[in-house]
Structure 1
Amino acid sequence: MALVMTSQLQVMQSLAKNNRDRTMADRSNGHSSPCQKTLSTAHILLTHTHCDHYLEQLLTQKNTDITHVPMLAIKPLAISKIKQKALYEADTWVFLSKHSLGENAELLKQHRSDQCIVAIGPGTAHLLSDHDITVDYVPEQDHSSDGILALPLFNTDSKRNVLVFSEASGPAYLKKGLKERGHAVIHAATYQHQKRDTTEIAQTISPIIDSITHITTHSQKGLDHLHTVSEKEYMPTLKQKTLLVTSQHMRASATEHGFQSVICSDNNGPTQIVNSISAHRKGAIYG
């Protein structure tokens, strides 16, 4: 009997040792138990026009691979001599994107006095601050023309002379909304969007398309051209990826374009974009 009990004890000890060895081997091979859910590496396709080093740094810290493929190119424009007079006359300057400053930073600083400065979002505000142009107002939530129109600044009895810095085609919706509120509006073109060749974009994306998990787009025109690339170059897989946009208007537009999974960042700042993607990834893992 003693011999049988000893044998059973040896078997149990051997099984326990094997289980420990198997667990250690699994860990050394990178395996985890069913209860140890971890985030796999994401691969994010950034489509904004210029490289944002801070955004890429934050994403890299989150176990993320990054590929930057711009949808649009930017051609900076100098503020015309005629519009330079408006720099003095306007009491409010409105900047509609990071590109709105263009190559006019020194000119604007020379004409800067007591104008009220409005930026469409935190990213634009940070860029202006980097050029020693202090921003007075940024919409809290909706970083779009609607967010600017909702600012208390433009909804009082005091009428303002507004100079809007933006893309050459002009902010028709914002101008209309400001004029309806009784404000005078002048537009200064500081850059021009140029759509990149769809074939060139497709050739860059095709080799990595299966590994892409998320796509970010930071402007309506960029979103529209991403849609064009998907349709013209027969890349429907792009619309199956999780798409991050930076306004509710863009979210509605992306859904209309046929993107199947759309998430919206609270603003267009790098930190919030990263937080939105991280929250989505965790939700996908943990439900």
Structure 2
Amino acid sequence: MAHIVVTRPQGKGEALAELLIAAGHRVSTTPVLQIDYLSVDANQLATLDEADIAIFVSQDAVQGLYQQRDTLPANLACFAVGPTTAQALEQQFLCNAKVPKKQHDSEGLLRLPELQKVEGKTVVLIKGRGGRTLIAKTLKDRGAFVNSLVTYERKAVKGSSKAWLQQWQQQGVEALVITSNSGADAIFACQDESLLQWLKSRQFYIVSERTKAHLVKLGVKGEHIKVAADVDNEAIVACIGAEQEGNMSEQPKNTPKSEPAPSATQPKAVPSQSKPMTQKISKTAVLALLVALAAAGVTGYQYWLQQQAQDQEQNQLQQHLEQLQSDNQALNQRLEALANALQQQQHSAQQWQRQFSDRVNGELSANQRAVAGQIEQAIDGLNNQEQPPLDTNEVKRLVAMADFQLWSEANYAGAAATLKRLDALLASYPGNAQLRRAIHTDLQQLASIEVADVEAVVLRLHGLGGQVDKLQFNMVELAPIESNGEQSQALSDNVSDWRRNLAATWDKLVDDFIKVRKREAAIEPLLDNQQQRLIKQRLHFYLDQAGFAASHKHPKLYTQALQSAADIVTRYFNLQQPQTSQFLGQLKQLQLKTLVPQQPVTLSSVQVVGES
């Protein structure tokens, strides 16, 4: 049986190795990747509470999210790329996820009927850093609002690809199991051409056509690559078993060939008898030979050291380049998330504006009708010269209107105005002392409630958003270098000047031994222009989020957004500037605003009217 290396990350290749050993193979496990779970911001986690659909691309995505929160919203529709991911979702979150029936990858997931009509829906994609963008791009094209939630990152383990290949070559490895493009890149990072040629001649067992195309780009021939029918361990073992059986059936039977016997007529070698000779060797020649050998050894050692240094430097440059590419990709993802969040905020603001306009128009129409009714009643009273009886339906309607303004709209001023109008109506009719006492109790209770004017808060936040671009970052300012010219201090020949001569001699001695050097090189800024722009965009985002929370009466989200904005100002901007300190002070004042009362408000007049 073949010697096979399993390259899955730590903790994921042991079960596959046991199955291969049970099948009679010689197996080694060499994890080439490690999984690092990332911390997720609370604002990003909050997007799950407002999402319609959540898509998990791997088991690691499930584990990474589970470390941040242990529950999911009950009305959230969950989708998984494969059955192992769905099983992890069921174990961690007790969630029954929908899975493609045949093709367990991004393409198969996007063919599900539930993901065809997603226009206007909010989708959260739980994934790792980097990877494919097919799911996000396709769902955006279908009209969905897509937010990416990055919960883990795959990195190459500490070590050298060259060391792995040398070890595998010594062990006689014949095949490798690779389950991702990242694993293939980590293995092919070696710069030794002879080891790469040996690696390309091995057999590769993979789980997707995408990884096969990637290996072909790396120089592996198609006949050395076999794709399993599925991503689970049983499918990989079946693929290896079928390949090994095919190789055994194709091997030709070799018949041993008898070596020809030595000829009897072949002449025998006769040992030659040499006479001993003595040679006189010069000591100078021996010494020259030793010196030449030593010089050759030193030269070879220096060449080996230079070669090792070049290899190490090249590996460091390659790692640095990969890190830069990863950081660039993370920044792009952050920009994409900010753009999606801004789009959602604009959509929500438009909906709120329409709802507010409809509500205001409805209230104006109701008030106009009520005023017209009162005018008609007053005209009728003047014409009849007698007071009409109290309309109990009108009393109940005004009490119900005040209760509706209080609970549905949180309009405490409007509720108080309605109760005052009812009290003025009851003042003309005796026998309603109990109801009027309840109304005055309710008016006193509403007057004691201090809540912020939402419209004023939103306008102040909008004004702060216009000041963001004027804030100055906290930069380091270096004082100008002062040039101290050398002053010649000549000694005097006058004996009476001995004190000045002694001081000048001492100063010259100090100048000779102590030297202060000024740094004249340019100092690079801590934040470049792109990072400064991203910080200001993030500050804009938190201000918009606070305005949205104030409009929809979400006090917790409102406080968190303002605190995040204050943290950014404190960390990155110059608090010595008056404009920055005033900006931070206004943020702290807005944090103290109360959007909703601490205790629920109940109108006593509603109970009195209901009992009457």
Question: What interval of TM-score do these two structures reach, taking the shorter chain for normalisation?
Answer: 0.7 to 0.9
Asked if 1:213 is matched to 2:174, the reply is yes
Residues 1:43 and 2:3 aligned together: yes
Count of residue pairs the alignment pairs up: 246
Question: Equivalents in 2 of 1:283, 1:205: separation in Å?
Answer: 27
- Are 2:50 and 1:89 equivalent residues in the alignment? yes
How many angstroms does 1:284 deviate by?
A: 1.4
- The 5 A counterparts of 1:42-61 are 42-52=2-12, 53-61=14-22
1:151 counterpart = 2:93: no
Amino acid at match of 2:143: G
Q: Percent identity?
A: 22
1:261-276 matched pairs, under 5 angstroms: 261-276=224-239
Partner of 1:226: 187
Structure 2 equivalent of residue 191 of structure 1: 152
Relative to 1, partners in 2 of residues 1:122 and 1:274: Cα closer, same or farther, differing over 3 Å?
A: farther
SS in 2 for 1:79: coil
Q: What CA RMSD, in Å, does the superposition of the two structures yield over aligned residues?
A: 2.4
User: For residues 230 and 148 of structure 1, what CA distance do their matches in structure 2 show?
Assistant: 38
Letter in 2 for 1:76: Y
Q: Which has the higher strand share?
A: 1
Aligned to 1:278: 241
Would the aligned equivalents of 2:35 and 2:152 in 1 still touch at CA under 8 Å?
Answer: yes
d(CA) in 2 for partners of 1:237 and 1:166?
Answer: 35
The one-letter amino acid of 1:77's match is L
Contact between 2:5 and 2:27, CA under 8 Å: does it hold in 1? yes
1:243 to 204, 209, 214: 204
**SS at the partner of 1:228?**
coil
Deviation at 1:106, TM superposition (A): 5.8
1:67 is aligned to 2:28: yes
Answer yes or no: is the 8 Å Cα contact 1:46–1:67 preserved in 2: yes
Deviation at 1:159, TM superposition (A): 5.4
With CA pairs under 8 Å and 6+ residues apart, which has the higher RCO, 1 or 2? 1
Q: Contact 1:71–1:225 at 8 Å: present in 2 too? A: yes
Aligned partner of 1:65: which letter? R
- What code does the residue aligned with 2:4 have? I
Unmatched tracts of structure 2, length 5 or more: 251-612
Contact 1:122 1:267 in 2 (8 A): no
| 3-state SS of paired residue (2:190) | helix
- Amino acid of the structure 1 residue aligned with 2:236: I
Q: Report the alpha carbon displacement of residue 243 of structure 1 after superposing the two structures with TM.
A: 0.8
Match of 1:120 in 2: 81
Stretch deviating more after TM superposition (48-57 or 212-221): 48-57
Q: Matched residues in 2 for 1:159 and 1:233: separation?
A: 55
Q: Residues 134 and 157 (structure 1 numbering): CA distance in 2 closer, same or farther, change over 3 Å?
A: closer
Matched, 1:203 2:160: no
Mapped partners of 1:109, 1:135: distance in 2 = 15
Contact 1:248–1:264 (Cα < 8 Å) also in 2? yes
**TM-score normalised to the size of structure 1?**
0.76
Paired position in structure 1 for 2:398: none
| Structure 2 match to 1:35 | none
Q: Tell me if structure 1 keeps the 8 A contact 2:2–2:25.
A: yes
2:126 corresponds to: 165
Q: 2:55, 2:78 within 8 Å by CA — same for their partners in 1?
A: yes
AA aligned opposite 1:272: A
Q: Is residue 44–residue 213 contact of structure 1 (8 Å, CA) maintained in 2?
A: yes
| Alignment-mate amino acid for residue 110 of structure 1 | T
In the alignment, what sits opposite 2:40?
Answer: 79
Q: Judging changes above 3 Å, is the alpha-carbon distance between structure 1 residues 230 and 264 closer, same or farther for their aligned structure 2 residues? A: farther
Highest Rg: 1 or 2?
A: 2
Counterparts in 2 of 1:219 and 1:112: CA distance versus 1, 3 Å: farther
